[in-house]
Amino acid sequence: MAIYEIYSHPSLVRYKTSVFTKATLFLLIVVALTYIPPLLVAYRSHGFWLKISTYEEQPNVRFQYQVLMIVGTSTSGDFLAWSTFANFNNLQGDNLRFPLVTAMEEDQNLDGKMDRLNFRLELPLQPSEQVYNVQFILTFSYKLFRMSTFMMQSMAYAYFSSSIPGSQFTVNGDLKLHQREPLRHKGVDTRYNVSIFNDGSPFASAYDVARVIASYQDRNVTTTFSNQYPVWTAGRAADAPFVINAVIRYPVEIITYPF
C-alpha cells in the first residue's frame, strides 16, 4: 500500500549564550586547579619525594686576622714561631720572631662578597738561619644565607717541607666547604660559630697544631684549603726575610640541605 506525505514542517532549535557566563568561569577554575597547583608544588619542592637536594651559593667569607705560623729552621727540630695570640707568643721564649704581615681581601666581581684573600708574611732571619719547612693556620668567618642560614668560624691550613732551605713559600688554592651532613634548612645554625683557638688559655696544648686540627675535624661542617698549588723557592740572600705568599679563593659552593 502506498504512503503519501500530506504535510511536513521543519523544526529548528537554537541555544545561544554569551562566553562570559558562570559556566565558563567554572570551567576555567576547574582547569586552573587541575594544572597549576601541581606545577607550583613541583617547582617549589624541586621535585617530588626528594629528601635531600643541592643548590649553589657564593659564601660570605671574611678573614679574621688570626694567624699561627711555625717554621722549621733545621732538620733537628729547631723552629721559629709567631701568632696573633698573646698567650701563644708568651710560650715561645727565644723561638718567637715577629714578622711583617699584610693581608688584603678582594671583591673581584663587585657583588658585595669577597672573592679572595691575598696574604703575605715576611719573617726576618739571621744570616745563619735557614727555613726547611713551614706551616700556618688562618681563620675565617664563613656565612651562608640563601636556603640555609649557617654561620661558622673556619680555617685554612697549609704545610710544606723540603730538604733544601728556602727563601719563599707560595701557595694558591681554594677555601672549600666540606659537609658530612646536610645543612639545616630551618632557623639559624650557629653550632660551629666558635673560635678555632682557645686563645684565652695559657697552656701550650691549646695551640698545638695537631690538637687544633683534630678538634676542628670533629665538626660535621668545615672548610679545607684545597686545590693547592705550592711553590718552594730556594736560594735566600743573607739579609733577606723568609716570605710566605698565600692566595686563598672563596669559590661558589654546591650546598647540600634537607627538605
pTM over cut 0.85: no
Residues 41 and 65 in one domain: no
Residues 26 and 98 in one domain: no
Residues 33 and 140 in one domain: no
CA distance 6 to 251: 95
Residues 208 and 135 in one domain: yes
- 7 inside domain: no
Could you report the per-residue pLDDT of 117-162, keeping only the tens digit for each? Answer: 999 999 999 999 999 999 999 999 999 998 889 999 999 999 999 9
Q: How confident is the model at residue 8 (pLDDT cuts 50, 70, 90)?
A: confident
Residue 49: per-residue pLDDT: 64
Half-sphere exposure of 197 (CA within 13 A, CB side): 28
Q: Name the one residue in this structure whose C-alpha cell is 597549576.
A: 36
Q: What is the DSSP letter of 96?
A: B
The domain in which residue 97 lies consists of 54-258
Distances (CA, A) of 24 to 27, 37, 131: 5, 20, 85
